[in-house]
Amino acid sequence: MPNEAALNFITDKITGLEIIKQELSRMFLNTTDLNQADDIRRDITRLNQVLFTFESMRNSLAATANEVSPPPPARIAALTDVLRRLNSFVSGDQNIQTALNFLIQVAGVIRNV
């Protein structure tokens, strides 16, 4: 498949961000603090915008006839590393604010890598 490496890379980013969104949605539904719910709602909305952009990029990449160069190994390594950190996250194991900060930070790294 042409552009397979680039497609896999973007798919991995989407998968990571989807996991974070699921976790944030779970927190949003469980919190009783309205101000915190507002913050989480804003984070989820931002994350949805990023996910929409990445999924649109993936659709374009799958449709293009042009060859796109594969991502450099350093970026793949950075993404693998941050996804490993995300996998080690155990929901409900931490203070909600600590968990939020961690998830937002990981989402930022995945987005920019």
Partner 1 sequence: MKLKILTPIILLGLSLTSFGCAGEETARQVALQLRASIIDDEQIIDKTIETQTTFYEDQQKTIEKYRSEDIIFQLDAQRRKRSAEAATAMSVNPQQEARLSNLMDYLQETNDTEYELWNKLYGGEQQAREELKSKIAKLQRQKKVLTQVKDNLNQLALAPNQKKRARMLIQFSQETIAALKASR
Which residues in this chain contact partner 1 in the complex, by CB under 8 A?
34, 37-38, 41, 44-45, 48, 51-52, 55-56, 59-60, 62-63, 65
Q: In sequence order, what are the residues at sequence separation of 6 or more whose Cβ sits closer than 8 angstroms to the Cβ of residue 16?
A: 79, 82, 83, 86, 106, 107, 110
For partner 1, give the closer residue by CB, 60 or 94: 60
Closest to partner 1 by CB, 9 vs 21, is 21
Those residues with Cβ within 8 angstroms of residue 12's Cβ, 6 or more apart along the chain or in another chain = 79, 83
> Can you read off the two tokens belonging to residue 80?
């693998």
Cβ at position 84, least distance to partner 1 in Å: 27
Q: Report the nearest approach of partner 1 to the CB of residue 55 (Å).
A: 5
Q: Which one, of 98, 79, 89, lies nearest residue 20 by Cα? A: 89
Of residues 8 and 85, the one with the C-beta less far from partner 1 = 8
